[in-house]
Amino acid sequence: MTVRQIRMFGDPVLREAAAPVTTFDRELRDLVRSLTATMRAGAGRAGLAAPQLGVPLRVIVYDVDGRAGHIVNPRLERSGRTVVADEACLSAPGVWWPRERSFSAVARGRDMYGKPVTVRAIAMLARVLQHEADHLDGVLFIDDLPAEDQRRFLAAIP
Indicate which residues carry an active-site annotation: 132
Question: Concatenated DSSP letters for 33-84?
Answer: HHHHHHHHTSTT--EEEGGGGT--BSEEEEEETTEEEEEEEEEEEE-S-EEE
Q: Is 158 exposed, middle or buried (0-12, 13-18, 19+ CB in 10 A)?
A: exposed
Residue 85, helix vs strand vs coil:
strand
| Ramachandran angles phi, psi of 50, nearest 5° | -55, -40
